[in-house]
Amino acid sequence: MGRLMRQPRRHALPGFGLTLGVCLAWLGLLVLLPLAALVLKAAALGPAELWQAATTPRALAAYRVSFGCAALAGLVNLFFGPLLAWVLVRYRFPGRTLVDALIDLPFALPTAVAGITLTALYASTGPLGRWLEAAGWKVAYTPSGITVALVFVSLPFLVRSVQPVLETLEPDIEEAAATLGAGRLTTLWRVVLPTLWPAILSGFALAFARAIGEYGSVIFIAGNLPLVSEIAPLLIVSKLDQYDTVGATAIAVVLLAASFAALLALNLVQLWTVRRRSAEAR
């Protein structure tokens, strides 16, 4: 996608040394040096101690809560994300631009603001919570609340990864399917949806990577009960508050590995899509 760079090399552009220097200095000091501190800390501990600190019952429970709620929130958005993208691209209705702009609200709204607002809404005294609790569903201060916060945070990833694909989708195949007698639902399900899967999956991977590390929007609504509703990032913070840098480092390594795995999967999906496209073009 736009990765091609064909420029005739007529004039050597200036600034290579300067920009390289700025980049390496800034990247090195701000990103690589601190990350190296984490890697060195983990390496100094050695695998046995690291493993022990990363797999305490409390840590394991925190991973279960973080990964489980992130996956659940991703699944909710797996449905609503593409649905919103479809409605925004294909339908014309009053206020469409406004809704389109609002999709990015979770990116723009500070996470702490989202956190206290969702908590106030879903607590047993809040307008939504009162109603849901009467129906027997306690949301705030339980894993359900964590999932609600993560649905909010990860929604834009799914919408924004599917939207551009829908915008550039050629109408021919849908028309062909209709001509061949397929009903509209069949066409959507069997013709449109398969072309969207790569975009949906990469949106899911981005959303998941973000959601497992999310902190601000979650801690207010989570209840933060160890073993039950404590997320992994919060456990890092409480380890640090107790000056347990070993515990904090170990959990951070697991979380980082999980985000990198999600993003690696994303790159593989994209690679696979490009391969498939070029195979089809042949």
Partner 1 sequence: MNARKPSAALRDPAWLRWSLLALALGFVALFLVLPLVAVFGYAFEKGVAVYLASLTDPDARAAIRLTLLVTAIAVPANTVFGIAAAWLVTRFQFRGRGLLLSLIDLPFAVSPVIAGLIFVLLFGAQGWLGPWLAAHDVKIIFAVPGIVLATTFVTFPFVARELIPLMQAQGSEQEQAALTLGAGGWAMFWRVLLPKIGWGLAYGVILCNARAIGEFGAVSVVSGHIRGLTNTMPLHVEILYNEYHRTAAFAVASLLALIALATLALKQLIGWRLRKPPQRDAAA
Smallest separation, CB 164 to partner 1 (Å): 12
Q: Could you say which of 19, 55, 124, 186 contacts partner 1 (CB under 8 A)?
A: 19
Site for partner 1 in 127-146 (CB under 8 A): 127-128
Site for partner 1 in 46-85 (CB under 8 A): 80, 83-84
Nearer of residues 55 and 245 to partner 1, judged by Cβ: 245
Q: Could you say which of 55, 164, 167, 193 contacts partner 1 (CB under 8 A)?
A: 167
Number of residues that bind partner 1 (CB under 8 A): 94
Nearer of residues 194 and 282 to partner 1, judged by Cβ: 194
Q: Could you say which of 216, 224, 265, 273 contacts partner 1 (CB under 8 A)?
A: 216
Contacts of 121 (CB under 8 A, 6+ apart): 127, 128, 129
Q: Could you say which of 162, 200, 212, 250 contacts partner 1 (CB under 8 A)?
A: 212
Q: Could you say which of 56, 144, 195, 259 contacts partner 1 (CB under 8 A)?
A: 259
Task: Rounding to the nearest 10 degrees, give the CA dihedral for residues 270, 271, 273, 279.
Answer: 160
Site for partner 1 in 187-206 (CB under 8 A): 188
Task: Rounding to the nearest 10 degrees, give the CA dihedral for residues 227, 231, 234, 240.
Answer: 60
Smallest separation, CB 155 to partner 1 (Å): 7
Q: Which two tokens stand for residue 134?
A: 């009467």
Site for partner 1 in 263-282 (CB under 8 A): 263
Q: Which stretch binds partner 1 (CB under 8 A): 5-13, 50-58, 132-140, 269-277?
A: 5-13
Q: Which two tokens stand for residue 49?
A: 């101690």
Q: Which two tokens stand for residue 118?
A: 């969702």
Q: Could you say which of 55, 68, 107, 189 contacts partner 1 (CB under 8 A)?
A: 107
Q: Which two tokens stand for residue 3?
A: 């990765």
* Contact between 195 and 114 (Cβ < 8 Å): no
Q: Could you say which of 61, 151, 165, 199 contacts partner 1 (CB under 8 A)?
A: 151
Handedness of CA 141, 143, 148, 150 (dihedral sign): positive
Q: Could you say which of 55, 64, 75, 104 contacts partner 1 (CB under 8 A)?
A: 104
Site for partner 1 in 227-246 (CB under 8 A): 233-234, 236-237, 240, 243, 245
Nearer of residues 189 and 282 to partner 1, judged by Cβ: 189
Q: Which stretch binds partner 1 (CB under 8 A): 55-63, 67-75, 137-145, 177-185?
A: 177-185
| Helix orientation angle between 193-213 and 245-281, rounded to the nearest 10 degrees | 170
Q: Does 94 bind partner 1 (CB under 8 A)?
A: no
Smallest separation, CB 226 to partner 1 (Å): 17
